Structure 1
Amino acid sequence: MAAQGRPEVLFGLFSRLEGLSGIGPKAEQALGHLHIETPKDLIYTLPVGVVDRRPLTRLAEITPPRIATLEVEVIRHRPPPSRGRGPYRVTVTDSQTAFDLVFFHARAPYLEKLLPIGARRLISGKVELFDGIAQIVHPDHILPVEEAETLPKFEAIYPLGQGLTQKIMARAIADALQAVPDLPEWIDPALKAREGWPDWATAMRAQHHVQSPSEAAPNAKPRLRLAYDELFAHQLTLALARARAKRRKGRISHGDGALRAKVLQSLPYSPTGAQTRAIAEIVADMAAPERMSRLLQGDVGAGKTLVALMALLAAVEAGGQGVMMAPTSILAQQHAANLRPLAEAAGVVLEVLTGADKGRERAAKLAALARGNIAILVGTHAVFQEDVEFADLRLAIVDEQHRFGVRERLRLGEKGALADMLVMTATPIPRTLSLAQYGDMDLSILDEKPANRQKITTALVSEARMDEVVAHLQKAVAEGQQAYWICPLVEESEVYEATAAEERFKSLRARLGEGVVGLVHGQMSSPEKDATMTEFNENRTKVLVATTVVEVGVDVPNASIMVIEQADLFGMAQLHQLRGRVGRGSRASTCVLLYRNGLTETAKRRLHVLRDTDDGFVIAEEDLAIRGAGDVIGTAQSGLPRFRVADLEQHGGLMAMAQSDARALLALDPSLEGPRGQAARTLLWLLEQDKAIRLISAG
């Protein structure tokens, strides 16, 4: 069907701001800095607080500092001395207490006209004490008593930027609200009735005309309704992307299980129930005629690698090829090293391709790949370069790309025209964020640890006891153990982190001896990093001093000690990932979190959670509760949508509701043609989900 344009009923909300009351070119520019470019953006800028402007009888009723509204009589004016320095003071009284109104850079004629001696005025502003005497500096409102009714009892407080005042915002929003149309209802009627939510226009007006602080709270019904609209539009977009992916013809990759059986026979352990379930879900998707789009989410050490290999072998059994992409060359090499023995057990050719491959060697690999001689390719982003061609790519696996958004995933899927897509992450993500980020995908969760994983004991140790920690490390190394020593995270600077790591490397080398300690950090070249990692991997060095380069995926089974310096600087997910680097061999393992003195309560809470549990999903939920959604994933790279009203911590419960509602609507009305479907289209246009509209149009 052809694309429809924005509905006429919304035109007024997408006009220029300059026509609104009090908005000239300068104010329009200032609003632009807050990403407010249309009346729609303006009305979606909801109050961040509420000021109580209800009049008081006497100043004595309050304890400064606080905002108060009082009826006063003007007693006298005290201009600054003749040189004009200092404030202009106007003394007023509420019939019991005299106090001053204070103005800086004031013009006397203006104030004499505004506050004539003997006149009664209603004033509202922040009462503060100065030298024990009450005063209000630049009152927010000064009105003749007969105009008292024009002052709202509760006044909305808006976020401001440079060049904007509350008055400018309030006037412009009041004007923009005049253009708010009554829109058809897109929320399921039963859901709306159950939740007691108002209509869209009623909710919008109510949020700007709040009558008490509770009405501006995140759980106020009008705000919940507006938050739900955003989440519903977002989930509708993801559901449309998912439905389109499901409709896109895939390849039926139906393997006979022979290669997988060989690998299972070669394993010294049995897969967990979660691994078996995930493999079955993935293999069933691959055998279906639609393209697979699935997320495999597993805690640290839950055994994603085996699941990935089984999926890749299913592609090979079906006569095709599989590719697995890792974010760094170290990780790609690591995956290849772990997978190769298993691939050999199945009699399958596996190769690795990274940016380091050059010249003849690279050309030979590309030729073998194009002929189909390489069944499984492991690599970095290099595998998506134009000259990399597969004979028959059936499955693309993307590892640790939780920092990629939906658009990037869609682009990655284009390499094999009909290839199935599996995204893996070892970062347990709270359900709310998982739905926000991956709602277009089906989900497989690995929530069991393999029986061969060792328990890791986590200890919190003050940095004051650093010498004891090094002494324990010395003893462990003498017994043949290996250890990681992670250096503090320094704000966005690899150079500083490298310096910190180099200093620790020197001090540990002095204590433990030459050739015992290795060093790896982000400032080193890839060959240097790889050489250091190889030495540690092969047990030639015993202690690896590193920055967070080793956070994800590095696998050295003999390493049984993890020391993290200034652990309070790291995020919870990062500490959990780092801890997961040990406990991979036969030894009981230890993670030492060194912390600085004077920890905040939040930092203590985070470290205690890590000490008390090794369940990544519990840690992720705690992390969300402590830090908030943007920080948990890292807003800049998160692929998380930017909502104006919805808050993923406060409104997380609405996300699952929005997902099931969106999927249910599309199941009944796939092209959104019915009355509720048309209303949902209006919502998508209102919230500028153009991508969703294109998805419907493309069909």
Structure 2
Amino acid sequence: MKLDELSVRQIKGVSAQKEQELHAFGVHTVADLLDYFPFRYEDYRIRGLGEAKDGEKVTIQGKIMSDALLSRFGKGKSRLNCRVAVDGVLVNAIWFNRHFLKDSLTAGREIVMTGKWEQRRLQITVAESEFPDRGASRSGSVQPVYSVGGSLTQSWIRKTIHQALTQYGSLIEEVLPFALIEKHGLMARKEAVAIVHQPENAERGQAARRRLVYEELFLFQLKLQAYRALTRQKVQGLSHVVGAEAIRQFAATLPFELTDSQKKVVNEILIDMRSSGCMNRLLQGDVGAGKTVVAAVALFATVTAGYQGALMVPTEILAEQHYRSLQKLFAPAGVEVGLLTGSMTERRKRDVLAGLQMGLIQIIVGTHALIQDTVHFQSLGLVVTDEQHRFGVNQRSVLRRKGLNPDVLTMTATPIPRTLAITAFGDMDVSTLNERPKGRKPIKTYWVKHSMLDRVLGFIRQETDLGRQAYFICPLIEESEKLDVQNAIDLHIQLQQAFPDLKIGLLHGRMTPAEKDASMDAFGRNEAQVLVATTVVEVGVDVPNATLMIIMDAERFGLSQLHQLRGRVGRGEHQSYCVLIADPKSEVGRERMKVMTETDDGFEVARRDLDLRGPGDFFGTKQSGVPEFKLANLDTDLAVLEQARDDAAELTRREDFWTDPALARLQGILRQDQLFEGDLLD
């Protein structure tokens, strides 16, 4: 029998009730229980007073020198106090609310105490205590601590796992190939599982954890890398035949010179596009790093090679902005650019759809409207999705299937820490833009309290007098009784009263597409000097003359959202500013303000955001694909993750990977996984 075929009920001492409670923790089989690893350890090893550090938890042993004194205070509260000789020193020992121990704490008796040590007072506040004359004890050991609940206690789960190891430990099978175990000096799986549950000492426990963390990360990476290898073998992509001279001539028509970072990324993309394999590349870059220009070069390459290109974006405002930008960039080359959004008239939609199907439109920019059944391409060669985490996997794959395995370029302005790039996007090649376009100045960021609003209004006046423009962002559209936050409609009225000589625009999600367009157009042409808006301006809106971004109730926004909003300014030649108006009551809110004023580097903001929120919530969506590991910690185990990725990639590239008998266990794991069923993943 295999461990994953044995019910936990087979373990001695597991009743029907306990079995049901284990099910609630995802434990159904003996294999599940043995892989139910502790999340930390309690160190009960006895220390001498010389090793005890002030303020830390310690375990010490000594002889009780006086009977305990009991005193009561408050409502039902009590305190026990006695003197204990430890290493020839009299220590004051205190127990709170343990009055039932009084008769056990008698002079002359040996005792082991675990608790907080106070060096100056030679005092221990005891959390746990036991008496050696009672036999079995925890003292001298390192004890695992598990997630438990209901009637499942720490002692019961420890005892049950010990019983499972006794009954079935010999059935634990090796998963990793011997070559990898030898390469990294790892202990055998059977030994590692036993030790991680019952560590003899810290060193052996660490070695066991290292082995199991590597295995967990390796198996995860193996699925990604095997999928990647299989995709490239099975799928014949489009080979874009495009000369370097044509690309150079197009780049020369651009209104600005490409940065070194942009040139490097363009080369990576063109190498992929010229190959016969399917490009699946993620382009990440900080706000304003010039991703759109890189995408334009890739779209030009697909058109030059005789194909059509599609750019899908999350909002109509962004679609129209990209449409106008690409029209200007492609005008010298005579490339026909089209626009498709949900709010267009039926007649305009019909014209665009016909142009696409006949190949008259070479590049199409659009929203979700691009994935409708009525959209047909003559020959789709490249799919670009912007702000990819705002689209579901299915939405992205529908667009891709409108061509015959077109190349895919995915863009994000949410810089991704290396750990997430390796895990969430491990099946994609990643290109990074890490250089500001020439002439761009860093944005100066300030955090002020609501009481300083008058000074902020003075700052708006200062900038508008210089001919510049300002954004004023609010978290809500209308007044809410539940949240005491400024709302866009009230603020719009307030600013109209404060600046009667200025035109104050308004932009929010409940406006019609035509109203949004009119508001953005007016701001873009400087007919409105201040734009009061919700976060609809978060992504992509580009007004180079806007130099001031003011964010009301800034503590209510996430770090990545604040950074995106800040990126709407600083796009022209003038010095730009971001003012965060906030009175945060939480530590997290204060930390967000601190991070924003300390750095304008998107990758550093992303790293700090990951620290504050954790990988599962990093994108604000569960589509990110970041797994929750049992033992691995992406912050501390990055080096192991990178090694596991490299090992998995090297293994899956081997021609004999699927036939080598030494890899049979890994082949079985992959074949069982639904990763290889149905359509290709994005």
Determine if the TM-score, normalized by the shorter chain, exceeds 0.5.
Answer: yes
- Alignment partner, residue 648 of structure 2: 662
- Alignment partner, residue 630 of structure 2: 644
**1:271 corresponds to 2:258:** yes
- Alignment partner, residue 211 of structure 2: 225
Other structure's SS at 2:229 match: helix
Question: Equivalents in 1 of 2:351, 2:554: separation in Å?
Answer: 46
Q: 2:232 aligns with which of 228, 246, 250?
A: 246
- Alignment partner, residue 43 of structure 1: 34
**1:509 corresponds to 2:500:** no
Q: 1:323 aligns with which of 297, 306, 310?
A: 310
- Alignment partner, residue 690 of structure 1: 673
- Alignment partner, residue 352 of structure 1: 339
Deviation at 1:93, TM superposition (A): 11
Deviation at 1:485, TM superposition (A): 1.5
Once the two structures are superposed, the pairs formed by residues 13-32 of structure 1 within 5 Å of their partners are 13-32=4-23
Q: 1:303 aligns with which of 276, 282, 290?
A: 290
Deviation at 1:302, TM superposition (A): 1.5
Other structure's SS at 1:148 match: coil
Q: Deviations over 1:51-94 (max 9, x none)?
A: 34457999xx9999978698999x99x9xxxxxx9899999998
Q: 1:561 to 1:215 in 2, by over 3 A?
A: farther
- Alignment partner, residue 577 of structure 1: 564
Q: 2:639 aligns with which of 642, 653, 662?
A: 653
User: Whose RCO is larger (CA < 8 A, sep 6+)?
Assistant: 1
Once the two structures are superposed, the pairs formed by residues 62-101 of structure 1 within 5 Å of their partners are none
User: Which structure 1 segments of 5+ residues have no match?
Assistant: 1-7, 79-84
Once the two structures are superposed, the pairs formed by residues 301-450 of structure 1 within 5 Å of their partners are 301-357=288-344, 359-402=346-389, 412-450=399-437
Contact 1:561–1:582 at 8 Å: present in 2 too? yes
Contact 1:671–1:696 at 8 Å: present in 2 too? no
**Which residue identity does 1:395 align to in structure 2?**
L
User: Which structure 2 segments of 5+ residues have no match?
Assistant: 118-122
Question: Equivalents in 1 of 2:392, 2:31: separation in Å?
Answer: 25
Deviation at 1:314, TM superposition (A): 1.4
- Alignment partner, residue 183 of structure 1: 173
Question: Equivalents in 2 of 1:101, 1:468: separation in Å?
Answer: 53
- Alignment partner, residue 120 of structure 2: none
- Alignment partner, residue 209 of structure 1: 198
Question: Equivalents in 1 of 2:580, 2:125: separation in Å?
Answer: 51
Q: Deviations over 1:173-202 (max 9, x none)?
A: 22343434343452574x645654322222
Deviation at 1:335, TM superposition (A): 1.3
Deviation at 1:604, TM superposition (A): 5.8
Contact 2:340–2:370 at 8 Å: present in 1 too? yes
Other structure's SS at 1:18 match: helix
- Alignment partner, residue 161 of structure 2: 173
Q: Deviations over 1:447-484 (max 9, x none)?
A: 22221434423334344322111111023223321111
Q: 1:587 aligns with which of 566, 574, 582?
A: 574
Q: 1:17 to 1:418 in 2, by over 3 A?
A: same
Q: 1:597 to 1:366 in 2, by over 3 A?
A: closer
Q: Percent identity?
A: 36
- Which shows bigger deviation, 459-468 or 237-246? 459-468
Question: Equivalents in 1 of 2:142, 2:396: separation in Å?
Answer: 47
- Alignment partner, residue 188 of structure 2: 199
Question: Equivalents in 1 of 2:77, 2:288: separation in Å?
Answer: 67
**1:465 corresponds to 2:462:** no
Other structure's SS at 1:643 match: coil
Other structure's SS at 1:313 match: helix
**1:532 corresponds to 2:515:** no
Contact 2:37–2:197 at 8 Å: present in 1 too? yes
Question: Equivalents in 2 of 1:696, 1:488: separation in Å?
Answer: 39
Contact 1:669–1:677 at 8 Å: present in 2 too? no
Q: 1:146 to 1:561 in 2, by over 3 A?
A: closer
Other structure's SS at 2:650 match: helix
- Alignment partner, residue 3 of structure 2: 12
Other structure's SS at 1:355 match: coil
Question: Equivalents in 1 of 2:481, 2:190: separation in Å?
Answer: 50
Other structure's SS at 2:41 match: strand
Question: Equivalents in 1 of 2:508, 2:196: separation in Å?
Answer: 50
Deviation at 1:159, TM superposition (A): 1.3
Deviation at 1:236, TM superposition (A): 1.3
Contact 2:312–2:367 at 8 Å: present in 1 too? yes
Q: Deviations over 1:493-525 (max 9, x none)?
A: 999599633333332222123762223334545
Other structure's SS at 1:534 match: helix
Question: Equivalents in 1 of 2:510, 2:275: separation in Å?
Answer: 46
Once the two structures are superposed, the pairs formed by residues 672-687 of structure 1 within 5 Å of their partners are 672-681=658-667, 684=670
Deviation at 1:668, TM superposition (A): 2.3
Question: Equivalents in 2 of 1:524, 1:495: separation in Å?
Answer: 23
Other structure's SS at 2:459 match: helix
Question: Equivalents in 2 of 1:676, 1:697: separation in Å?
Answer: 28
- Alignment partner, residue 559 of structure 1: 546
Contact 1:406–1:438 at 8 Å: present in 2 too? no
**Which residue identity does 1:155 align to in structure 2?**
Q
Question: Equivalents in 2 of 1:410, 1:494: separation in Å?
Answer: 42
**Which residue identity does 2:432 align to in structure 1?**
I
**Which residue identity does 1:47 align to in structure 2?**
P
- Alignment partner, residue 485 of structure 1: 472
Contact 2:542–2:568 at 8 Å: present in 1 too? yes
Q: 1:518 aligns with which of 495, 498, 505?
A: 505
Q: 1:552 to 1:99 in 2, by over 3 A?
A: closer
Other structure's SS at 1:396 match: strand
Q: How many aligned positions are there?
A: 661
- Alignment partner, residue 141 of structure 2: 153
- Alignment partner, residue 4 of structure 1: none
Q: Deviations over 1:195-233 (max 9, x none)?
A: 5432222222211113456776xxx23222212212111
- Which shows bigger deviation, 662-671 or 15-24? 15-24
Deviation at 1:249, TM superposition (A): 0.4
